[in-house]
Structure 1
Amino acid sequence: MTTESSKHPHPPLSQQKRPFTVGVTGGIGSGKTAVTDFFAGKGIPIVDADIAARVVVEPGKPALAEIEQRYGSEILIDGSLDRRTLRTIIFDDANERKWLEGLLHPIIRDQIILELTHAESRYAVLVSPLMLETSQHELVDRVLVVDVPESIQLSRTMARDQMTEEQTRQILNTQMKREQRIAMADDIVDNSGSMAQLHQSLDKLHQYYLSLT
């Protein structure tokens, strides 16, 4: 089931030439990849904030040098960022998480803008788990939330990532609450059913987005 509203207008993209942009977000285990795979199959370019986040900390990038300066060489493995160690640091210390977010979020935003500028299509998709928690929502014209009950989030994530329920709940607790996310959505797609049902809903949204461009 999809819902559409315009009660949450988003700032227009800057004057750089970019296509109409749909932001796809949702909690862990909601099925964002299944949604973006559908749009990609329709020829819609996908800009992935998680990939952008990895690009900006590649060896030789200024952000990686700043992270190494703060945490020492033990934060690196063969010159690359040790994500597991960094994840442990920021989960255990809210101040360190805020420092890292302050460093990376503006750089990730710039990388996303660059990739959107290069997209050539009627519309583009930006997928990000933290779209509504950061200023990334300002880069899109509509927010599409992929929604499932928390029980499905837990079971899918535990099976996919081989995590315990406690570990999965810890991640869920760091994310925006489901009700908040839904309240900020322009469009909602229910991904608790079959893949065929999901694709049927997404096809309607795809046609709708084309009508807006």
Structure 2
Amino acid sequence: MTTAVDKPWVLGLTGGIASGKSAAAQRFAELGVHVVDADQASRWVVEPGRPALAALAERYGAALLQADGSLDRGALRKVIFEDAQERRWVEALLHPLIAEEIARSLASATSPYAVFVSPLMVESGQYRITQRLLVVDAPEAVRVVRTLLRDHTTPEQVQAILKAQASREQRLALADDVLVNDRDLAWLHSEVERLHTFYLTLRGGRE
């Protein structure tokens, strides 16, 4: 029976847009670590039939829905990036629901530690539910190029996302560990494996 002493500790994993945090999280999962993704939790709470989607549709109308009744994420993104007041309303609706889903999923972890991935770990204060914080970092110029190639978006949209996220300095100030991801995927994997070996030696996320 699991006791409070041997309950898995939580590693927070974050990084700016296109830093490589998702690829790092995937490697942790491949190594047998329980991974909880804030983005997946945020998608789950607005699935068709869930109360949050009905509330969004009531406020913003059918323009926020796709033909199959699911959320049009692009339309919602436009709303929250263009109007700070609307962003706050959406956050007040969704954040408590997302937090519940994250807590439920973390509680089900059976690996020695669990990884909680969130792009807004610092901005949202989510790092407070972790025992240790790993920041995947890369120079901003590298991240902008990756985003443009990956998302086929505009430089203006990338800058808007960067502005909405914490600065590198804010993330790095809170980091216990930093993984600089400015090389290829093999390098990223080797760094994750090195950190995993180290994390297995920790109790409660501390040395």
TM-score (norm 2): 0.90
Q: Determine which of 156, 170, 174 is the counterpart of 1:166.
A: 156
Alignment partner of 1:211 is 2:201: yes
CA distance in 2 between partners of 1:31 and 1:23 (Å): 14
Preserved contact between residue 20 and residue 124 of structure 1 (Cα < 8 Å): yes
Preserved contact between residue 18 and residue 116 of structure 1 (Cα < 8 Å): no
Q: Which residue of 2 aligns with 1:44?
A: 33
The 5 Å alignment of 1:28-177 reads 28-77=17-66, 78-177=68-167
CA distance in 1 between partners of 2:79 and 2:72 (Å): 11
CA distance in 2 between partners of 1:108 and 1:129 (Å): 14
CA distance in 2 between partners of 1:86 and 1:165 (Å): 19
Following superposition, which runs of at least 4 residues in structure 1 exceed 4 angstroms of deviation? Answer: none
Preserved contact between residue 147 and residue 190 of structure 1 (Cα < 8 Å): yes
Question: Alpha-carbon deviations, 1:92-133, whole Å to 9, x = none?
Answer: 111000111111111101100011111111111111101111
Preserved contact between residue 122 and residue 210 of structure 1 (Cα < 8 Å): yes
Question: Alpha-carbon deviations, 1:169-207, whole Å to 9, x = none?
Answer: 121111111111100111111001233332332222111
SS at match of 2:121: coil
Aligned partner of 2:158: which letter? T
Preserved contact between residue 18 and residue 118 of structure 1 (Cα < 8 Å): no
Backbone CA RMSD of aligned residues: 1.5
Preserved contact between residue 56 and residue 108 of structure 1 (Cα < 8 Å): yes
SS at match of 2:158: helix
SS at match of 1:63: helix
Aligned partner of 1:59: which letter? P
CA distance in 2 between partners of 1:172 and 1:195 (Å): 23
Identity of aligned residues (%): 51
SS at match of 1:81: coil
How many residues are paired up?
198
CA distance in 2 between partners of 1:136 and 1:19 (Å): 17
Deviation at 1:151, TM superposition (A): 0.5
TM-score (norm 1): 0.88
SS at match of 1:129: coil
Alignment partner of 1:182 is 2:164: no
- The answer for unaligned runs of 5 or more in structure 1 is 1-14
CA distance in 2 between partners of 1:159 and 1:181 (Å): 24
Deviation at 1:211, TM superposition (A): 0.8
CA distance in 2 between partners of 1:38 and 1:82 (Å): 30
Aligned partner of 2:148: which letter? M
Preserved contact between residue 10 and residue 116 of structure 2 (Cα < 8 Å): yes
Q: Which residue of 2 aligns with 1:10?
A: none
CA distance in 2 between partners of 1:166 and 1:67 (Å): 26
SS at match of 1:212: coil
